[in-house]
Every structure is written in C-alpha cells, then in structure tokens.
Amino acid sequence: MDRRAPLATIRDRRSFDGGLLAFGRRGDLRVLNFSMTEAELQRQKEMQQAEELLFTGPQALGFVKGLFAGHFVSDWVMPYPRIPAAQQSQLDQTLKELRAFLDTKLDPTAIDRQADIPREVIDGLGRVGVLGMTAPGDYGGHGFSQLANTKILEELGTRCASTSVFVNAHHSIGIRALLLFGTHDQKQKWLPKLCTGEWLGAFALTEREAGSDAANVQMTATPSDDGSHYILNGEKRYITNTAIAHVLTVMARTPVPGKPGKDAITAFLVTPDVPGFELIEPRMEKMGIRGTATGRFALRNVKVPKENILGPFGKGLKVALTVLDFGRTTFGACCTGAAKTCLGLAVKHANTRKQFNKTLGSFHLVRKKIARIAADAYAMEAITTITASLIDRGLEDYMLETAMLKVFTTELLWECVNEAFQIHGGAAYMTDLPLERMLRDARINQIGEGSNEVLKSFIALVGMRGPGMEFKEIYDTMLKPTREGGIGKAWNAGMSRLGAAVRVPDVPVGSAELKSFASQLGRLIWRFNLAVNKSLVLYREPILDMQLVQERIAGAAMDLFASTAVLSRWDSEIQFGQRNGQSPSTSNTAAELFLRQSFRRIRDFLSGLGDNDDKFILRAADSALGHHTGNAAGAAAVSGGPL
C-alpha cells in the first residue's frame, strides 16, 4: 500500500479560489490577466487541474456535503445498513474459516520480530478467499460487497496490523484498481492469480517529491516512436509489498499528445521481472507494521507495453483517488478491529488487576478510560458500516465520507491504544503484551493514505465549496445584474442559503426514545451551517490558508457524521429488537456516551471559531521558526471569528 498517498493534494485546495471563494475581493480568480506573476499563473494552473479532477462529472448532494449546506440527507445514512441474509450466511462461514486459520497459523509477535509475514500465512489467506474477497467469482473471488469485506478486515485488525495492512495493500488498492479500471483482457490476465495469492499486488504512487502532494509525481513515461510502449524512469518509495509484489500499479507522468509542454499522470501495470526494474530497498526498517514489505524501487528505462495502461490515459490521479476511497473504508475497519482488541485487553486487566485491595475497574479514572474506548469502538464500527454501504449502493461522490472515516478512525484508535496502555501501566511497556506493538503499529495510520492534517483541510474546503458557489452567484449578480440568467440563479442561491439559515433539519428516527438526541443533532447541523456561512462571508479568500479555522470546521463536520452513524445504528438496534418481540429498551450506554461527548465537541469546535488563541499560536510559531517579520496577514485574519 502506498502509505502516504492522499485523497487530495495540498495543491487541490487552491482550486477553491475560482469556485468556493470567487465572490471574494478580486472576483472570479479563474479569469487570467496579464498582470499575474509567474507564481500566480502556476497557482491558476493548479486550480484548474484540481477543479477538473475533483469537480467534473455528477456532483450529487451527498450526506456530508448536505451538512455543509444545512441539510440532513437521510436516505444516505438511514436506515442503518445490513448485509443481505444470503451474503451474511456466506460471510459467517468465511469468518469461521478465517478465525480457525488465524488461531493456528497467525503469530503477530513473530511477524513483528522477524519483520516478515510467512508465505504460509499468505497462502492460507488466499485459500480462505481473503485476497480476492470482492472480486467476481469469474476471476476466483468471493464477490463480497464492500460492507462484507470490512468485516473480514476488521477481524484481521483485531489480531495483526501488519497482516491487515498487507491485505489492504494487495486487495483494497491493488486488486481494486484492476476491478474498477481494468479492461477485460487485463482482468483475465491478472486477477485469477491475484485472487488466490499466487501473485501479489502493490500500488506505487509515493515518491520523494510526491507524498502529501500527490500530483507532484516525477516518474516519467515517454512513448516510443512507434507508440507500442512507454519507457518509464524514476523512483518510488514507501510502497507496501514492494519486495513481494508480482504486479504493481505505477503512476507516471506522460506527455499529452498534440499539446507540447503539457503532461498528465497515467497509471501503468508493471511487473518486477522486466529489465530495468531495480529494488533499491526491498524492506525498509520501520517503527511499526514491521511485517509489511515496505520498500523503495527504481525503474531505469523500463519498457511497458501500451496495453498495460490502466484506466484512461492521463487519468492516473483519478484512478488513485478513486481506489483510495475503497482503501480508506477497509482501513477504517482495520482500526475498528484494533480498537475492539484494546477494549478487550483493558476490560480483562481492569477486572483482574488489584491495587489498594481493589480491582482497577473500581477506580473512576480507569472506568472513564474504558467507557471512552467502548464508546469510540462502537462509533468506529458504525461510521465504517455507513461509509461502506455508500459504495455498495452505487452512490456517487462519497470522497468526503471516506476522508472523514480515515481521519476519525485513525485518531480514535490512537487514543484507544493509549488509554489501554495506561490502564496496563508499566506492564504494557514490556514485549510480552501486544500493546507496545499495537502502539507502534497505530502511529502510521494518521500519516498513511493521506495525512490527517491535509485531509482536514480537504474536508473543510471541499465541503464549503457548495455554499461558496451559491454566494458566488449572488455576488456576481450584484456586480453585473444584466448577466445572462444571473437574476434567476442569484434568487435560487439566495433562497437556498436563507432556507438553510431559518430551517432546522429534521433527523428522522423510528424510536421515540431517541427523538431528543435526533432533535439535538438537527439543531447542531443548523448551527454548523450558520458557522460555515459566516466563515465564508467574514474571511472570503484568506480562508484558503487558514488551516486552524479549517480544522475546527472539519472537526465539527466529522463529529456530525459520526453522531449520525451512531444514532442510526442505535435506532436500528432498538427497532430490530422490537420486531423480534423484545421489550423496548434504549439501554446502550456506549452509544449514549458517544453522542453526548460528540455533541459537546461539536459545540466546542463552533465556539472556537470566535473564541480562540489562533493569532498567538501563529506568533509563537513564527518566533520559534525564526520568522522575524511574523505572519501579519494570518494573525489579523484569525483575530476574530464568525461566532
């Protein structure tokens, strides 16, 4: 797995000058003018590239985009999804076989210490079907849904992070690219052996200059004179499965035919047996997930036939970002499994370990930690289930939901591991317990598949684009009332913004006992929309670089999504129990605790937009960094706030 490949590049956020904030001080920034500097021209180019990448094709009002617009798109999240009975039966049997195999053959401690997943384990996973779980039966797969596959990855996540990352790299972003973008011939050639594990896959995007800035790929692919093949040159690093892969999906920069000086990123299928493929570091030594074969390789004049182009020419980033949506979903499942392991370890230790003639579970501070782990694990499973179901239902444009899932689950897992570690005290620091390994393994999660900081900015700016475009219509019409269709568009945009400002969204739950929570959630969505509107109007263009503001907006939005998932799950459990003749019961302390704490966090995020220490943070950072002139513009911009 390309552990650093993000959903959106840092440069992607520049795209919003022309869309999100075009109503700002300079009007529509996408209109080039001769006074632009070279840097501004480059920024303009990046804006246009990002607009094309992220905002072409259908732009459905998904759940998270609805939150930013002040709406509750209920049919995306309610009722809580369930796996169909026929596939549930197949899943249960597969999980039974998988658990039996893992109980006897998987040794996470040995994998960590030897920095290798034995071939026997890989072969066994292939026999159970784990390595081709979502591939159609015609290619040797199980044909599982994305939701069913998350249950498989959750099971792996409860046991061994190295193994779950290996499977995620091979299947969720390796095989998945072929399933989504491969031709019939490519699928026939590669998938059967990839599904069994006879061949293994890898996904190669990251380079020295292309980490969070994924669009900055430097590897080149030059077409041959006769057009029969491409010649690839460059290096890739931090690529999971490098040393063991039989086929790698490689991103390289290709010249665009008929457009001198213009290039685009294209995906290629490359095998390591070709001349010029050089393993520079087969297995890089790492702090955690040590069993994975994370490596560095180079391509030196490697000839790749044109038939090995994966997906449309010049659309390699589209391939990468689409595939990562799937990888992030199973990533969330792996984190959920690990959180459940933390809960089990913490509960067992708290019930058996005695100090001061009491079990640890008698002490309130320990109980607080266990309650938090239980609540967070419940929420992690709920948001993973909801997000996976969006893919299975064929809905479009769920990139914000998958980005939120990745940030939410990785940060909560880190806290769960830390809390379980603290409950165990000094014993957790010793290698005879799994917690020190889990701590090392969990740290990469907030970096891999898009650093959480980049994704928070991405969530905030992409989410605000919808309301921003409506404000743009109003602003453009004010500047030029006679423009074609301007009055009508401005009227619709104004009514949309006004309607969201005066109407509290309805959150439909079937259980009367949960109406109070639903009402609170609706009012928080209304407050969130007001905060987004005020931020756009107050800050305008500077908000593009105000990451402290973006962080709060993204944090509130993520908790709104997570709270919705928890409420949907809790409602479903109550309804399911009542349909099966059980007495009505709202007893779900984990769900209730999460909702209460999540609602409090949302209020704090929104309050923090106006009451914060941002300017002092920036001044202190400037001082530490040696920026004697300071960040005057940034400090001025964050001195106040919309709320």
- Would you please indicate which residues are annotated as catalytic (active-site) residues? 449
- Are the C-beta atoms of residues 438 and 161 closer than 8 Å to each other? yes
Q: What angle do CA 48, 49, 55 make, to 5 degrees?
A: 80
Closest to 200 in 3D by CA, of 169, 232, 238: 169
Closest to 370 in 3D by CA, of 220, 63, 593, 600: 593
Residue 207: Cβ within 10 Å count: 23
Closest to 126 in 3D by CA, of 84, 171, 161: 171
Q: Say how far apart CA 220 and CA 236 lie, in whole Å.
A: 12
Query: For residue 222, what are the β-bridge partners?
Result: 231
Q: Give Cα 17 to chain centroid, integer Å.
A: 24
- Are the C-beta atoms of residues 451 and 212 closer than 8 Å to each other? yes
Closest to 598 in 3D by CA, of 514, 517, 515, 503: 517
Phi, psi of 421 (to 5 degrees): -60, -45
Instruction: For 324-346, give one letter per residue: b (16+ CB within 10 A) or e.
Output: bbbbbbbbbbbbbbbbbbbbebb
Give me the amino acid identity at 467.
P
Q: Say how far apart CA 269 and CA 543 lie, in whole Å.
A: 40
Q: 3-class DSSP state for residue 29?
A: coil
Give me the amino acid identity at 5.
A
Q: 3-class DSSP state for residue 279?
A: strand
Tell me whether strands 263-270 and 229-239 are parallel, antiparallel or unpaired: unpaired
